[in-house]
């Protein structure tokens, strides 16, 4: 009933039990680096590297570092895979072909994006620093007209107040 003989772990269980730090050390061990080189690469001490490799050896059930590296390489090929290829995005945006109106049912609702949502804030382009000469001149002319209107309005208010006070 109480059998004390431990069963050997399956490959998947071994892979799961390895920590990320142990895997980092084992990855560098696969490149045939020494503990000192691994310690420099990971910015940790040499005894820490040895401790992680010893723990990984125990998890993998290996007698030596080389055997642990071989077992880890085999497990890595099996369990450390990207499930799908990365998506390939074409360089340019391809336009979709427009189908004929006859293909759509008569009760279909056609939705389209509005340009307002794409544009964002209406005046954000004014504060850019890379305007062309014509745009700069237009902005300065508008600012001049606004300044003249404000000055004339101020003078009109000042004249009205002067007449009101003087009587």
Contact in structure between 71 and 79 (CB atoms under 8 Å): no
Of 112 and 71, the one with more pLDDT: 71
> Per-residue pLDDT tens for 24-36?
999 999 999 999 9
Contact in structure between 56 and 25 (CB atoms under 8 Å): yes
106: pLDDT confidence band, cut at 50, 70 and 90?
A: low
Q: Measure the CA–CA gap between 146 and 7, rounded to whole angstroms.
A: 86
Q: Measure the CA–CA gap between 50 and 56, rounded to whole angstroms.
A: 10
> Per-residue pLDDT tens for 108-118?
566 665 555 55
CA-angle at 147, arms to 142 and 153, nearest 5°: 125
Residue with tokens 């009933």: 1
Residue with tokens 């090929």: 77
pTM: 0.46
Of 67 and 87, the one with more pLDDT: 67
């Amino acid at each position: 009933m109480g059998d004390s003989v431990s069963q050997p772990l399956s490959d998947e269980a071994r892979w799961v039990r390895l920590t990320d730090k142990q895997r980092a050390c084992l990855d560098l061990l696969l490149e045939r680096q020494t503990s000192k080189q691994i310690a420099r690469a990971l910015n940790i001490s040499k005894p820490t590297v040895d401790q992680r490799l010893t723990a990984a050896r125990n998890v993998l059930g290996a007698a030596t570092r080389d055997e642990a590296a071989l077992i880890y390489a085999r497990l890595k090929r099996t369990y450390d895979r990207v499930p799908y290829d990365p998506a390939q995005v074409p360089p340019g945006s391809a336009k979709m072909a427009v189908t004929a109106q006859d293909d759509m049912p008569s009760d279909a609702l056609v939705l389209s994006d509005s340009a307002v949502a794409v544009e964002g804030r209406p005046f954000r382009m004014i504060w850019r620093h890379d305007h062309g000469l014509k745009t700069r001149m237009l902005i300065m002319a508008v600012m001049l007209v606004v300044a003249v209107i404000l000055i004339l309005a101020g003078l009109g208010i000042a004249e009205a107040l002067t007449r009101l006070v003087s009587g």
